[in-house]
Structure 1
């Protein structure tokens, strides 16, 4: 629990620092340089790699879309409710739903324009900072990964589950920069905020579990 609180605080501090640097314009050179690394030299309209890489990036970025994450979240919540794990279902709902509301509020608050150096390879409608795909992927995948870690018996299985959650989060965020719809700092801030939010929700769940208000992983519902 203490480790979770510390990591959540670090994530929140990192987000606040990035937000301050972005608002002061201190990250412009970093963002532009890193963004152009994903483009063919001399052709800002052409992402690096063959055409199938760009198509693959669109598939990967869809994993962090609102539709996909909503379907996955509702499916998990339904399973948990059928298993009579109401506390775990509530944790997932609050973590993902609260993360979505927080992401929307932050976008409206900062209202950062999307990258203007390269064409956008996918259609976007909202502000740029922080990346909603990166933030919600972190909140969703890390929360689900933590749930699976609770029921995994072996340490290597726990590590495997969390590694997959982190990998999915990183791939979705990176695809946003590759497709030219986010500055790199948008994605970094999204990762920090999403991870901090997921950790905060998890700390609250552990607190409630110790108080006996949330079922433990060993609790089994009658058939």
Structure 2
């Protein structure tokens, strides 16, 4: 069976297959988390983890000194609308200047699709924000999934993959991807630390964000091999 699959896909197609399988796994994990949230099976774990980041004597006070709280606000800003809009705008502008208009459109599609997915999920599930502790950041939308966590994963992973593909050394590729993952992780942790999301909101944001980024990467890679999108190395 493996030999038949190898002949069917060919050596160059295996990376694409693995990417799509990883995307499917991440999206499946999101569905499982969403189902548990809808069935209200995550309440106990969410409350324990959220309270663990707060003073036991004063739930309004996050753990750690004041500078740590301020640093967490800085981290959460990395997943905010303003910062991500600037980053995506700069990336799209760069690709356009480099005469890679279709690649720029692919980035816009990935980010725009992520926004639509986040908005749809928030509307359908309509989970209230945590009410156990005071919020350390202004919020207006529903809680599930974490939009900051999801869009941080979408934007930083998408751009990291584009940059890593044109780097010749594996160490460099791994470092770039690791930085993107680290930023997404910090954004998610900061949302729980500031009391504006349940932990499962953040976990769901990471899974659907990374799954969507991988899916878009796979589609883009397939279109590049068909010559319909400019290759990153061109």
Equivalent residue for 1:199, pick from 205, 214, 217: 214
Whole-Å separation in 2 of the counterparts to 1:218 and 1:36: 48
Equivalent residue for 2:196, pick from 153, 161, 181: 181
Whole-Å separation in 2 of the counterparts to 1:91 and 1:114: 33
Q: Are positions 1:100 and 2:110 aligned together?
A: no
Structure 1 residue runs of 4 or more that deviate by more than 3 Å after TM superposition: none
**For structure 2, which runs of at least 5 residues remain unmatched after alignment?**
1-15
Whole-Å separation in 2 of the counterparts to 1:65 and 1:140: 11
Residues 45-84 of structure 1: per-residue CA shift (max 9 Å, x gap): 1100001100111111011001110111011000010001
Matches within 5 A, 1:209-220: 209-219=224-234
- Residue 153 of structure 1 deviates from its aligned partner by 1.3
Q: Are positions 1:75 and 2:93 aligned together?
A: no
Matches within 5 A, 1:13-24: 13-24=28-39
Whole-Å separation in 2 of the counterparts to 1:141 and 1:89: 15
Equivalent residue for 1:142, pick from 157, 165, 174: 157
Q: Are positions 1:25 and 2:29 aligned together?
A: no
Aligned positions, number:
219
- Residue 217 of structure 1 deviates from its aligned partner by 2.8
For 2:54, the equivalent position in structure 1 comes to 39
Look up the SS of the partner of 1:98 in the other structure.
helix
* CA RMSD between the two structures: 0.7
TM-score (norm 2): 0.92
For 2:25, the equivalent position in structure 1 comes to 10
TM-score (norm 1): 0.97
Look up the SS of the partner of 1:94 in the other structure.
helix
Residues 15-44 of structure 1: per-residue CA shift (max 9 Å, x gap): 000000001110000000000110011211
